[in-house]
């Protein structure tokens, strides 16, 4: 796997937040330029030696308990997981207008967006527990779009998985630019992603010669993996336990494949 890195992230590891348990979690402070970010590292301390690392990118709500829980679930599967912070300043909200504004600040500049995500990847790679030859990234909603941007930027990843992401199309990418294999888990009733964007998304991947698969879950709306989706009070969001379970199982098989070499 080609190894390229544009950031030197600093790990500031605090004392474990879960003492005496097999699954350990640590707050990790790192930087993207002058911006201080605080991510969340999770791993099983009963496992010896290096293991694959998985970056987790949060929904547009910020690095909340849901994203942290996914990192812990990945640690339970035997990975080192790092839930990155895309906003900084401990920005987390339950209000869509705030979330939309923060997301738009990040996504307005594609290069800066990609750079912010890469800072999280470099922080994951800096962990002594991570096998830096086996790396992946997953994301939810805004996070799904973010891991796709990482793929478009030629990130040093074996695989990326997008769950109910916004599916930004690739544009003007040379064949071979996209290195990771791609898994897309999408809800058939996701009103945030119009059919024409899905078509453009698929076309962009094909033009770039990407290795991709897309699974569409009948009746699933945006946010289908998040048990707390209904609490946000948006009709377009709904948890779908069957689609959640199926997509998580699918991801595990995907990782088995991309980490097999």
Report the CATH number that the domain containing residue 56 is assigned in CATH: 3.40.50.1820
- Strand pairing class (51-57; 80-83): parallel
> Using CA atoms, how far apart are residues 245 and 224, in angstroms rounded to an integer?
10
Written as tens digits, the pLDDT of the chain (261 aa) is 333 333 333 433 333 444 445 899 999 999 999 999 999 999 999 999 999 999 999 999 999 999 999 999 999 999 999 999 999 999 999 999 999 999 999 999 999 999 999 999 999 999 999 999 999 999 999 999 999 999 999 999 999 999 999 999 998 898 999 999 999 999 999 999 999 999 999 999 999 999 999 999 999 999 999 999 999 999 999 999 999 999 999 999 999 999 997
Q: Report yes or no on 1 lying in a domain.
A: no
pLDDT tens string 67-83: 999 999 999 999 999 99
Closest to 217 measured CA to CA, from 179, 188, 174, 241: 188
Q: Report yes or no on 6 lying in a domain.
A: no
Q: Report yes or no on 225 lying in a domain.
A: yes
Q: Report yes or no on 3 lying in a domain.
A: no
Cβ-in-10-Å burial (0-12, 13-18, 19+) of 125 comes to: buried
Coil, strand, or helix at residue 182?
Answer: strand
pTM of the predicted protein model: 0.92
Q: Which domain holds residue 199?
A: 12-258
Coil, strand, or helix at residue 53?
Answer: strand
Q: Report yes or no on 183 lying in a domain.
A: yes
Domains: count for the chain: 1
pLDDT tens string 121-170: 999 999 999 999 999 999 999 999 999 999 999 999 999 999 999 999 99
Report yes or no: 106 and 86 within 8 Å, Cβ to Cβ. Answer: yes
Closest to 179 measured CA to CA, from 203, 197, 205: 205
Q: Report yes or no on 147 lying in a domain.
A: yes
> Using CA atoms, how far apart are residues 56 and 40, in angstroms rounded to an integer?
9
């Amino acid at each position: 796997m080609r190894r390229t890195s544009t950031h030197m992230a600093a790990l500031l590891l605090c004392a474990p937040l879960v003492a005496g348990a097999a699954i350990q979690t640590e707050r990790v402070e790192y930087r993207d330029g002058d911006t201080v970010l605080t991510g969340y590292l999770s791993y099983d301390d009963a496992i010896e030696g290096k293991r694959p690392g998985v970056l987790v990118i949060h929904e547009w709500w910020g690095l909340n308990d849901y994203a942290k829980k996914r990192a812990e679930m990945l640690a339970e599967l035997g990975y080192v997981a790092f839930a990155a912070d895309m906003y900084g300043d401990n920005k987390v909200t339950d209000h869509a207008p705030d979330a939309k504004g923060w997301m738009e600040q990040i996504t307005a500049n594609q290069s800066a967006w990609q750079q912010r995500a890469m800072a999280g990847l470099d922080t994951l790679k800096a962990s002594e527990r991570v096998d830096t030859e086996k790396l992946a990234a997953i994301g939810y909603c805004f996070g799904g779009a973010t891991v796709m941007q990482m793929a478009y930027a030629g990130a040093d990843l074996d695989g990326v998985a997008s769950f109910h992401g916004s599916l930004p199309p690739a544009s003007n990418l040379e064949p071979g630019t996209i290195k990771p294999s791609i898994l897309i888990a999408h809800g058939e009733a996701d009103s945030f992603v119009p059919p024409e964007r899905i078509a453009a998304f698929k076309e962009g991947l094909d033009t770039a010669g990407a290795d991709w698969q897309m699974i569409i879950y009948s009746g699933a709306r945006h946010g289908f993996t998040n048990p707390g989706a209904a609490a946000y009070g948006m009709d377009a969001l709904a948890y779908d336990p069957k689609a959640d379970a199926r997509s998580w199982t699918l991801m595990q098989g995907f990782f088995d494949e991309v980490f097999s070499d």
